Structure 1
Amino acid sequence: MGTPEGIDVITVVISEAPYGQERAYTALRFALTALVEGEEVKIFLIEDGVFLGKKGQNPDEVPNYLELLEQCIEQGAEVKACGPCSKARGLSEEDFIEGVELATMHDLVNWVKESDNVIFF
């Protein structure tokens, strides 16, 4: 598949909440590395992963996952958060940082169909 320039499209699906385990951290590091290597990256936050995009995170003594997500956005990643998952967790569009858009399963299905690779964390 890929874009005409030979760049791969990678969709990273993150279902893990930040700071509980390291899966979300690893996912963001993977996404940022792929971006730095010139790949097109799409990040879909689902289930507890929607908390990665929540404003105001300032953890003590652990890496700030929100800063990593912001770096991904600055490097060109498109980021969507599952709308129903967010609503179920008391989050609305105003709770997310700039660059995170609420989405549906239809959006995820389209991304998967358009992607060369999909990785789930």
Structure 2
Amino acid sequence: MKILIILNDAPYGNERAYNALRLAMSLQKEKSDIELTIFLMADAVGCAIPNQKTAQGYYNIERMLKSVITKNGKIKCCGTCLDARGLSSVNLIEGAERSTMQELTEITITSDKVITF
């Protein structure tokens, strides 16, 4: 089964990214054979910036993304969204990739389920 999760909001400030990644991690735990792709758009591209510092006891989106990656999840970042935020030359966390609308279209068409946050 192929599942696509699309995130649109910044990593912090509300809990959409946190809840999307909680769901992603739970899906991977329950079904180890799923093909999971997380596509970061708009302000969500900030989720893939490395070296995030969070308060003690507070969730860390970078660590959550790395957990998804270690279980063979794919993290794609909208290139246009990165450019629009001045992040075109920023290194992404290891395992996250710059992507395109064309690739998102292909992933959407071939996915069994698409979930947006």
Q: TM-score, normalised by structure 2?
A: 0.93
Report how far residue 93 of structure 1 moved: 5.2
Q: Please say if 1:25 is aligned against 2:18.
A: yes
**What is the total number of aligned residue pairs between the two structures?**
114
- Which structure 1 residue ranges, 4+ long, deviate > 4 Å from structure 2? none
Q: Kindly report the root-mean-square deviation, in angstroms, between the aligned alpha carbons of the 2 structures.
A: 1.1
Native 8 Å contact 1:93 1:102 kept in 2: no
Query: TM-score by structure 1 length?
Result: 0.90
Q: Does 1:43 align with 2:38?
A: yes
* Cα offsets for 1:16-75 (capped at 9, x unmatched): 101110010000111111111222210100000000000110111420111000000001
List runs of 5+ in structure 2 lacking aligned partners: none
Q: 1:107 aligns with which of 94, 103, 106?
A: 103
CA distance in 2, matches of 1:72, 1:95: 18
Which amino acid letter does the alignment assign opposite residue 59 of structure 1?
A: T
Distance 1:56 1:90 in 2: 18
